[in-house]
Chains A and B, each alone.
Chain A
Amino acid sequence: MQRHLISAADLTRDDAVLILDTAEEMARVADRPIKKLPTLRGRTVVNLFFEDSTRTRISFEAAEKRLSADVINFSAKGSSVSKGESLKDTAQTLEAMGVDAVVIRHGASGAPYTLANSGWIDAAVINAGDGTHQHPTQALLDAFTMRRRLVGRDVGLGRDLAGKRITIVGDVLHSRVARSNVDLLHTLGAEVTLVAPPTLLPVGIGSWPCEVSYDLDSTLPKADAVMMLRVQRERMNAAFFPTEREYARRYGLDADRMAKMPADAIVMHPGPMVRGMEITAEVADSDRCTAIEQVANGVSIRMAVLYLLLGGNEPAVGQARPSVSQQPSDRRPAHTVSTDEEK
């Protein structure tokens, strides 16, 4: 992790733990009457969304605003090319207006990587989901949620997820969430098992640092967390599975299956949930399901990422941007954020 956050695979264990710890500090801000820090005052962040994603965009926007950044939302729905404007032109236009960071969601895998590495712009690039490639802040917020629930909010500080067993179920083939989680959870020492029908697992998955199973029931008794991925109904039209009912029967999480999980194991979902498909309403609304918590944690994680990438905690007219990969002394411990708030 240098100036950009493109892939969860780019994060070292220490990078990731630092982000999680920083996010805990950020989370405390949310508990205050005034949920705002001056950290990114005078910095401009653009949310460049080529794909619809109200949830992710709002989460980033909330994080940016809580850090006092100036926020520009740019929604370029559909293909930029079909509109006759290229990603390059769009990004350069925004940078010319003085943007310090670009949060990009794009339907094409690799678009954020290209934006960060092509020399088109100088701004920091944060990947908010690209095609079926990566969604690193989602993986971070998931890891954050797991650490809180499975290790402990305060006890967890400075720690990773060593030895935790995580099962991820669903449409792995089309999922950037699954890819990001496999990378990050592996880095954090967790043991990951992916469960899906063979049609929804990519060819070449054998090289991933995880186990793969076609059978959900056998993995449940030993799972500390079960993450259900959204499965789009349209997939059955492309013969990935026969019917919605059959998918739900074989791979959906219902109360009977949840009962097979260890008592303190949690159910996770990146949202939006398709109730009746991969998850029943009963499970989705149970205490063990962390879907809503994940949303709240998403804001804290995105605050932490923005703060660390943009060198928050500096005066508004700042110097060089510290990055996560720099020396610990440059890493502005997150607790100094709270003193900043008093200024």
Chain B
Amino acid sequence: MTNRLVPRFLLTTIALTALGGCSNFEPWVKPYERDRLADPIMALDGDPVSSAYIQHVYEAREGARGGEGAAGGGCGCN
């Protein structure tokens, strides 16, 4: 499987490098259209201390864990 994955990784890298070099990506949601996403009510993790605590409670009370974190800021609206 590794033999197949390494060429895929290289191919993706080369293709995106070429893409980045040849053209400017046009986002389909422009920066000036992100005012609603920049609203604090749209923050995926607006209360990091509280969400870390409640996640700790669930991990102590249930057998499942992981997969619930937000992947970071993300919206580029600041």
Q: Please say whether chains A and B are actual partners in one complex.
A: no
